[in-house]
Copies of this chain bind each other. A is one copy, B any other.
Amino acid sequence: MTGLLARRGSWQAIRDEVMRRIRSREWLPGAIIPNEVELALDFGCARATVNRALRDLAAAGVLERRRRAGTRVAVAMAGRAGFDIPVIHRDVEAAGQRYGYRLIASRIELPPAEVAGRMGLVPRELLHLLALHCADGRPHVYEDRWIDPQVVPQIREVDLARISANEWLVQHMPFSAGDMGISAVVAGEAAGRLDVAAAEPLLLLERSTWSDGRAITFVRQYFAPGHRIEMRLAAPLAG
């Protein structure tokens, strides 16, 4: 490609050209593509520029790169996506509704074995919170949360009746990893909290959050009937 695709950043042009060759099946999944030096000659640029483009595609999962082994087109190039973790506060307000939060209960107690297991710790006393998030005064999300005060000692001094544990954690314990599971359940015992029939199907979101190998919190959130968790899927490349 003799400089055809020149743009603002030539590494983007290179990335696009590589993508084109993959899409057009000029470079098949699993096949090794030319090395950086060859591509740099081909594209008439520095190797660092090619490196930038290929690194970008590797990060997006389109390419697989290994020293000495070279760069190949990923075989199962389907799966990764990015989305924004739903933040209830913003969710509600984005829908043009007034957000409300109410702490129902706050106790220090032993978690059931399942919760302890999810948090990967031997049962010991944790902070247990029950809370309700409201939209325009109506129950929106019922939340059952466990927090390990040994990992987040400052939590003892927070007035959790005023600020939701989630918002406080987000502000003071950021950058954590975690896992999340979504399932459908019958309202059951959460029905009373959300003011719905016990047979109503609810979305249950379970999330555990980790910092430095230690579980910070585990939360179960029951969403009011009809709620929809939405996410935009970010493609490896727009186009």
Contact = CB atoms under 8 A, between A and B. Distances in A.
Contacts of A184: 184-185, 201-204, 223, 225, 227
A227 B182 CA distance: 8
| Copies of this chain, whole number | 2
A189 interface: no
A176 interface: yes
A179 B228 CA distance: 12
A203 B174 CA distance: 30
A198 to B, nearest CB: 12
A23 B177 CA distance: 15
Nearest to A178: B233
B179 A230 contact: yes
Nearest to A84: B79
Contacts of A186: 201
A226 B227 CA distance: 18
Contacts of A170: 78
Interface in A56-93: 62, 77-85, 87
Given A79-B85, A80-B84, 17 more contacts: A78-B85, A78-B87, A79-B87, A175-B236, A175-B237, A176-B235, A178-B233, A179-B232, A179-B233, A180-B233, A184-B201, A184-B202, A184-B203, A186-B201, A201-B202, A207-B233, A209-B233
Interface of A: 19, 23, 29, 62, 77-85, 87, 170-171, 174-186, 199, 201-204, 207, 209, 211-212, 223, 225-239
14 contacts: A78-B87, A78-B170, A79-B84, A80-B82, A81-B85, A175-B236, A175-B237, A178-B232, A182-B229, A183-B229, A184-B203, A184-B223, A203-B203, A211-B239
